[in-house]
Structure 1
């Protein structure tokens, strides 16, 4: 490959990585064409971009990036498939779901999620249970709404009781 072609590929990889906040490095060497196609379809449905890259080009693209990906460099050995997402746990959930079909691949080499590097297979469970930013915001909103709902509910139930008492008293006075 010519040097100019490599430079174009490095720029393309760098631009693609810059669009996503989460980078997973995986290995898919044991998957045949049919299973790889199934994985790509599942990734598309989960809004995870999947691409096979050459380690040397990926490393150069990461070095040119504004973000420090140096923690991922030791994992760049052998076949590398990138899984990119803006939701931190989406690729991990995808890997776990795909493995339910008695697969050992894709194997997690490393991940860069929210400026934290996770290394190896033992991190997969942790990554799958991490809540995304939107899930955390929803939890906070639900917690903030809960006391307000209780106050409104108490006022409404109290209002019904008060209304019932006043109605009973007015009915007694009429008789």
Structure 2
């Protein structure tokens, strides 16, 4: 590969890393063509960008990005595919669903992840990453918690109003 081609790929990878908030380093080496196509289709449906990269080019791209990504460098051995996503837990759920038939032992296998400005190294972190909530989920939880007391007060007032009205109407009839 010519030096110009490598620098173009590094620039493209740098732009992609800057574009997405989260990325997962995975191993998809043993997947056959059919399963690889199925994985790519699932990634496309869930708005996850799947890119197979050379480890040295990815390291150089990460060096160009602001921040220290050195905790991920030890995981960049062998075949590496990167799953880029703006929703934190979507790639983890995709990996877990794709490997559920093999009880988590099949491919794609999680190597490491950069999620919400934290590093997760090793396949043992997959369950933790599945449970990470995204921004919209957290906002929904906060709104639900804020609405709950107000709904309880309103329903208590409504039921109490009906009770008082019923009592007064009964007293009036007597």
What's the TM-score bracket when you normalise by the shorter of the two chains? over 0.9
| Deviation at residue 162 of structure 1 after TM alignment | 1.6
Deviation per CA, 1:71-100: give whole Å up to 9, x if none.
111111111000011111111110010002
The residue that corresponds to 1:112 in the other structure is 114
Structure with max Cα Rg: 1
The residue that corresponds to 2:81 in the other structure is 81
The residue that corresponds to 1:10 in the other structure is 10
| Deviation at residue 163 of structure 1 after TM alignment | 1.5
TM-score of the superposition, structure 2-length normalised?
0.94
Q: 1:130 aligns with which of 132, 136, 139?
A: 132
Structure 2 counterparts to residues 50-65 of structure 1, below 5 A:
50-65=50-65
Structure 2 unaligned residues grouped into runs of 5+: none
Aligned residues: 172
What secondary structure, in the 3-state scheme, does the structure 1 residue paired with 2:113 have? strand
The residue that corresponds to 2:25 in the other structure is 25
Whole-angstrom distance in 2 between the partners of 1:63 and 1:101:
37
Structure 1 unaligned residues grouped into runs of 5+: none
TM-score of the superposition, structure 1-length normalised?
0.93
Whole-angstrom distance in 2 between the partners of 1:6 and 1:97:
34
